[in-house]
């Protein structure tokens, strides 16, 4: 293994020893080998030290334990310890295809990027629910493709489940300013505002497992909705029309259901519009996965996603824009 690797992979972990094994197994299979792995145990009560020990002869890997500070500050800790020219951040619930670093390395040879991100996709081993959730998080019908599609709405901001930055970026911009509540988007905005070149590497795909049931997914997306308002506390211009869609969707659906009882003809028409929208989602997901079951689950996943995000967005909006939040418990 190289003493000074080209890439340093930073993986914060909190009580997820089962997930980290799959991620590390996928890193063993990488075609491009010039990287180190830093696993940052963020105050876990169930640590993954034994999992890391298992890979010490297969990977250039280092393991650190620290008090809990949240994922953003744990990534900062890892970047401070890293020896690579580039720092690559993965979530612990990702599986990395063997060609990931081959693809990234080819792009960096062709053009000078200071930071990048890549898409997420569903692995063949994912459950049908996980595939439906993956669809809802990447579909043009639900997110506008902003989570890593080649064609997406607005300026591309790398997300921390699949994010790379140069050492120079870390030196000049620093690390994450907050530890949660939109910390990756805030960081991406700061990098772009500093004049660094940021882009999507569309072939740098990761398989992001996300949540395994819809209750967990609702909780996660509710938090994402709150996080968008928190980003607005730093940069008010980053609350854009596309971010209002889930809130408008949620309020509109509630009004439509209420109108059915008060003004039936109007209510039925409005619900018909929603039904057509969900039909498009079900058809698109069915063709994408060649499965009617996943198509129907994707319909439900989209409903959970948009309503959870919308409720979280509106809930956090009532708190105003005065004080940025970072604490996971707030």
The 10s digit of each residue's pLDDT in 299-321 is 999 999 999 999 999 999 999 88
What is the dihedral sign for C-alpha 233, 237, 238, 241? positive
Distances (CA, A) of 26 to 54, 99, 155, 247: 14, 10, 30, 38
Q: Is the predicted pLDDT of residue 235 greater than 60, yes or no?
A: yes
What is the pLDDT averaged over residues 209-213?
A: 79
**pLDDT band at residue 328, thresholds of 50, 70 and 90?**
very low
Locate 37 and state its tokens: 């792995």
pLDDT band with cut points at 50, 70 and 90 for residue 209:
confident
Give the model's pLDDT for residue 154: 61
Write down how long the chain is.
Answer: 330
Strand partners, 61: 37
Residue 144: what pLDDT? 65
pLDDT band at 143 (very low <50, low <70, confident <90, very high): confident
pLDDT tens per residue across span 102-140: 999 999 999 889 999 999 999 899 999 999 999 999 898
pLDDT at position 147, please? 54
212: helix, coil or strand? coil
Residues 39-81: pLDDT tens digits? Answer: 999 999 999 999 999 999 999 999 999 999 999 999 999 999 9
Best CA proximity match to 35, nearest among 173, 164, 168: 164
In the predicted structure, residue 242 carries a pLDDT above the cut 90: no
Of the chain, the percentage scoring pLDDT greater than 90 comes to: 82
C-alpha distances (whole Å) from 245 to each of 144, 185, 238, 284, 306 are: 10, 18, 14, 20, 8
Q: What is the mean pLDDT of residues 19-45?
A: 96
Neighbours of 193 (CB within 10 A): 10
Contacts by 140-149, CB closer than 8 A, 24 or more apart: 141/277, 141/280, 141/281, 141/284, 141/302, 142/281, 142/302, 142/305, 142/306, 144/242, 144/245, 146/242, 147/119, 147/120, 148/117, 148/118, 148/119, 148/120, 148/200, 148/202, 149/119
Mean residue pLDDT of the chain comes to 92
Residues 6+ apart with CB under 8 A from 208: 91, 93, 94, 120, 121, 134, 161, 162
In this predicted structure, the answer to whether residue 146 has a pLDDT above a threshold of 60 is no
pTM: 0.89
* Crossing angle for the helix pair 264-289 and 241-262, to the nearest 10 degrees: 130
- pLDDT of residue 153 exceeding 60, the answer is no
Question: How large is the average pLDDT for residues 26-43?
Answer: 97
Contacts with 21 (C-beta within 8 Å, 6 or more apart), sequence order: 48, 51, 54
Give the tens place of pLDDT for each residue, 181-193: 999 999 999 999 9
Q: Which of 142-151, 247-256, 274-283 has the lowest mean pLDDT?
A: 142-151
Q: Say what the pLDDT of residue 329 is.
A: 38
Which of the two residues, 18 and 13, has the higher pLDDT score? 13
pLDDT over 90 at 1, yes or no: no
**Chain segment 113-122, per-residue pLDDT in tens:** 999 999 999 9
Per-residue model confidence as pLDDT tens digits over 167-184: 999 999 999 999 989 999
Find all residues with CB under 8 Å of 187, minimum gap 6, and list them: 72, 160, 173, 175, 176, 177
Name the residue among 124, 131, 129, 146 with its Cα closest to residue 224: 146
In the chain the first and final C-alpha atoms are separated, in Å, by 43
Classify residue 15 as exposed, middle or buried by CB count within 10 Å of its CB (0-12, 13-18, 19+): middle
């Amino acid at each position: 293994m190289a003493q000074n690797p080209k890439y340093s992979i930073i993986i914060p972990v909190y009580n997820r020893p089962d997930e980290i094994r799959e991620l590390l197994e996928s890193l063993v299979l990488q075609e491009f080998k010039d990287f180190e792995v830093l696993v940052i145990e963020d105050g876990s009560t169930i640590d993954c030290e034994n999992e890391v020990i298992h890979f010490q002869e297969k990977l250039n890997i280092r393991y650190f334990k620290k008090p809990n500070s949240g994922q953003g500050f744990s990534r900062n800790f890892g970047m401070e310890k890293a020896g690579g020219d580039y720092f690559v951040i993965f979530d612990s619930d990702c599986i990395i295809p063997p060609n990931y670093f081959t693809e990234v390395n080819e792009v960096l040879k062709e053009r000078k990027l200071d930071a990048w991100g890549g898409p997420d996709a569903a692995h063949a081993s994912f459950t049908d629910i996980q595939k439906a959730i993956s669809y809802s998080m990447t579909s043009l019908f639900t997110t506008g493709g902003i989570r890593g599609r080649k064609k997406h709405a607005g300026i591309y901001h790398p997300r921390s489940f699949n994010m790379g930055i140069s050492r120079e970026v870390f030196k000049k911009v620093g690390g994450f300013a907050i530890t949660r509540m939109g910390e990756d988007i805030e960081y991406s905005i700061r990098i772009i505002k500093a004049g660094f070149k940021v882009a999507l590497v569309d072939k740098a795909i990761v398989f992001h497992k996300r949540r395994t049931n819809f209750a967990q997914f609702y909780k996660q997306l509710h938090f994402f909705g709150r996080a968008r308002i928190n980003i607005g506390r730093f940069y008010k211009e980053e609350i854009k029309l596309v971010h209002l869609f889930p809130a408008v969707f949620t309020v509109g659906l509630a009004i439509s259901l209420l109108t059915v009882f008060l003004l039936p003809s109007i209510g039925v028409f409005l619900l018909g519009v929603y039904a057509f929208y969900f039909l498009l989602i079900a058809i698109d997901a069915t063709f994408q996965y060649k499965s009617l079951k996943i198509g129907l689950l994707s319909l439900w996943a989209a409903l959970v996603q948009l309503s959870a995000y919308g409720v979280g967005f509106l809930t956090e909006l009532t708190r105003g824009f005065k004080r940025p939040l970072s604490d996971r418990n707030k």
